[in-house]
A and B are shown apart, each in its own frame.
Chain A
Amino acid sequence: MDANTEKLAAPLVEVRDLKKYFPIRKGLFPRHVGDVKAVDGVSFTINRGETLGLVGESGSGKTTIGRMLLRLVPSTSGEMNFDGRNIVTLSNRDLRGLRREMQIIFQDPYASLNPRMTVGEIVGEPLRIHKLASGKAVNERVQELLLLVGLQKYHINRYPHEFSGGQRQRIGIARALAVEPKFIVCDEPVSALDVSIQAQVINLLQDLQERLGLTYLFIAHDLSVVRHISTRVAVMYVGKIMEISDRDSLYANPLHPYTQALLSAIPIPDPSAKRGRRVILHGDIPSPVSPPTGCRFHTRCPIAMPICTTDEPEFREFGPGHFAACHAVEQNGGQRPDLTSGPILL
């Protein structure tokens, strides 16, 4: 293998033991009293051209991971490599070059577009900043981008308030595509949209991926959407990845009790659908300020064992590309533990 093909075979994004602690300061002369451990040691890779789905409930740290990858928030520790370059140590000047290659689409299409700028200015701004076009060429390129995302050329002189939510999300996508990135962090891009519009945007993202060879990190809390769009899926819980696998084996054979509960909780829009027994988790999601000891899911796990409260389970591969961190899976010889029986500790 020559150097070039070797580079192409390597993952586009590699993350190792990434952490982000947000300090909590209190008092008149603020002193450091603790940390919000938003991301507490996660590792994953994203291959070229694939979509990694990142799911988790509120406070699991999924958005923070996306922001750290773009260095919109600095990481506390850990490694992040993008296309063979270390993102963590990049100088500010090199960072600008990096941001040409990675972009982000935000959740709220109402808050992420400047209301005082026209669509032409919003989508054209990255072109000017990165000196990709100037003068008339900017408008031509913007119009090209608008057509690409399913808007019209004449939309270029309009303001965001003249568009509906789905159309605004298209403007945000056009802005991200302006610099011809390789990698896009999609942070809940369809969560604020109505169902009929959501499908339009999902299809657009899939078409663009195919046409432009994009790689996505798709962050969402909706497991149905994530299943639809992802190649592989990572499940987060309170700052940690609990399970990661290719899409089909994760949904067909979820190993971690949390993944099982999460999947069984999704309401299915079909009253006649046959479904397995629903696992209803009790209690609330723990605070990331003081995550539970041992496995951080043990406070809600229906099959928690004494060891789960003390020892943190290792993140291990139980099938090809199927990783999970769970003592019960380990003891069960890598098979899915049955949630409806077994010792119930809490």
Chain B
Amino acid sequence: MALLEVSNLRTTFRTEDGPVTAVNGLSFQLERGQTLGIVGESGSGKSVTSLSIMRLLSSNGRIESGSIFFDGEDLLAKTEAQMRKIRGKRIAMIFQDPMTSLNPVLTIGEQIAEAVRLHLGLDHEAARKRTIEVLDKVRIPSAHARLNDYPYQFSGGMRQRVMIAMALSCDPELLIADEPTTALDVTIQAQILELMNEMQQQTGTAIVLITHDLGVVAETCKNVLVMYGGNMVEYGSASQVFAEPRMPYTQGLLASLPRVDTDGRSRLQPIPGQPPNLLRLPKGCAFAPRCAQRLPVCDTPVPLFDFGGGHVCRCQLYAETTPLATVGS
């Protein structure tokens, strides 16, 4: 049984201009101990997916349909009290901005110890010990002294280490990291990615890494899920997706990236047009208006096609040559 199983998830938000469909029929699975990268541009629905799993949507957001099973349990059927027991303990989350996700008026020791006392039922002294232990693990220098420091006394990279320490303090089975290195400088990003890799090898926590940075995914994830207009358009192992991208959108993304490992002289190939308007998502392929290879049939809903070895893609170009995927379409 997969650790996380999302099927046909549809999440909408009420806005002044009408309902916005942020996630539109998304399905995927994650096995224990694996790393899944979810990539997409702004508005593709990747963050809303993670907030839906955590049941942390803002008050105007609603999960319209679909199901989210975690370790065989239906998360959408849980009460808020039951969810609170899962959040932070069995599923932990790291956010993009380590400054706004830490409480500025509590010391970091208090913030980590709170989670440990609540979820593991440790007493004051044991919680303090555990806190020092996890801070040591993420290599905060002289952890026992820094327990009493406030978030503002830490640099951006150190704060993200604190966030990771907090997330790992209760040995979660699933860690959702939403753009964990986007706010960091590149040398600090390298430190944090290395740390996350190491932590995963030690603890075996499954990770969902949400990012817009294809480089970060290529270097850290086993599997990649590409999102566009609220749904998955391609899924496969990192080597499949990066070596043989099938979806014109994935191909376009890779062609529009300047790379340091090539000669850097060829002209970039941008994807023309703008990202889709989520107020008026097309019935068919959301990428069709920007696609150079669009067909008349692209205006109708597109199923997933199966390229073997777990590599699937939602694109009519393959309708005649490739079998339909059996699950998750």
Contacts and interface: CB of A to CB of B under 8 A. Distances in A.
Interface of A: 57-58, 164, 166-167, 194-200, 202-203, 206, 221, 223-225, 227-229, 247, 251, 261-273, 275, 278, 280-282, 284-285, 300
B161 to A, nearest CB: 11
B187 A271 contact: no
B201 interface: no
A89 B147 CA distance: 51
Interface stretch (B125-133, B265-273, B312-320): B265-273
B254 interface: yes
A111 to B, nearest CB: 16
Nearest to B238: A271
Contact of A269 (B193, B259, B267): B259
B185 A202 contact: no
A202 B264 CA distance: 13
B275 A164 contact: yes
A166 B267 CA distance: 18
Interface string B171-208: 00000000000000111111101100000000000000
9 contacts: A166-B274, A195-B41, A195-B253, A197-B275, A228-B268, A251-B264, A265-B190, A282-B191, A285-B187
Interface in B37-80: 41-42
Interface of B: 41-42, 155-158, 185-191, 193-194, 212-219, 238-239, 242-243, 252-254, 256-261, 264, 267-272, 274-275
Contacts of A223: 186, 260
A280 B194 contact: yes
Max chain A Cβ within 10 angstroms of own Cβ: one of B186, B215, B261, B275: B186
Nearest to A269: B214
A300 B271 CA distance: 40
A311 to B, nearest CB: 24
A269 B215 contact: yes
Contact of B218 (A228, A268, A280, A300): A268
Contact of A263 (B212, B213, B254, B260): B260
A262 B270 contact: no
Given A195-B41, A195-B214, A262-B186, A268 B259 contact: yes
Contacts of B219: 267-268, 271
A195 B219 CA distance: 18
Contacts of A200: 270-272
Max chain B Cβ within 10 angstroms of own Cβ: one of A196, A221, A272, A278: A196
A214 to B, nearest CB: 18
Q: List 8 A-B pairs, minimum CB-CB distance, nearest first.
A: A267-B215, A199-B270, A199-B256, A228-B258, A57-B185, A269-B214, A194-B41, A196-B271
Max chain A Cβ within 10 angstroms of own Cβ: one of B193, B218, B268: B268
Nearest to B157: A284
Contacts of A282: 191
Given A202-B268, A224-B264, A285-B188, 20 more contacts: A57-B186, A57-B188, A194-B212, A195-B214, A199-B256, A199-B257, A199-B269, A224-B258, A227-B260, A262-B186, A262-B187, A265-B186, A267-B216, A267-B218, A267-B219, A269-B259, A280-B194, A281-B187, A282-B191, A284-B188
B60 to A, nearest CB: 20
A262 to B, nearest CB: 6
A102 to B, nearest CB: 26
Contact of B270 (A58, A203, A229, A270): A203
A280 B196 CA distance: 14
Given A164-B275, A247-B264, A270-B261, A198 B187 contact: no
A120 to B, nearest CB: 21
A58 to B, nearest CB: 6
B188 A195 contact: no
Contacts of A285: 155, 185, 187-188
Contacts of B193: 267
A164 to B, nearest CB: 5
A145 B109 CA distance: 56
Contact of B187 (A57, A166, A197, A275): A57
A203 B267 contact: yes
Contacts of B218: 267-271, 273
A195 B274 CA distance: 11
Max chain A Cβ within 10 angstroms of own Cβ: one of B157, B190, B253: B190
A267 B213 contact: yes
Contacts of B254: 269
A262 B260 CA distance: 12
Max chain A Cβ within 10 angstroms of own Cβ: one of B253, B269, B274: B274
Contacts of B190: 264-265, 278, 280-281
Contacts of B155: 284-285
A266 B185 CA distance: 10
Contacts of B189: 265, 267
Contacts of A229: 258
A155 to B, nearest CB: 13
Contacts of A275: 261
Contacts of B194: 280
Contacts of B238: 271
B191 A266 contact: no
A269 B157 contact: no
Contacts of A278: 190
Nearest to B270: A199
Max chain B Cβ within 10 angstroms of own Cβ: one of A167, A221, A273: A273
Contacts of A271: 218-219, 238-239, 242-243
A247 B275 CA distance: 33
Nearest to B194: A280
Contacts of B243: 270-272
A227 B261 CA distance: 10
A235 B28 CA distance: 42
A57 B191 CA distance: 14
A268 B260 contact: yes
A281 B191 CA distance: 7
Given A167-B274, A267-B213, A284 B253 contact: no
A261 B257 contact: no
A14 to B, nearest CB: 27
Nearest to B273: A196
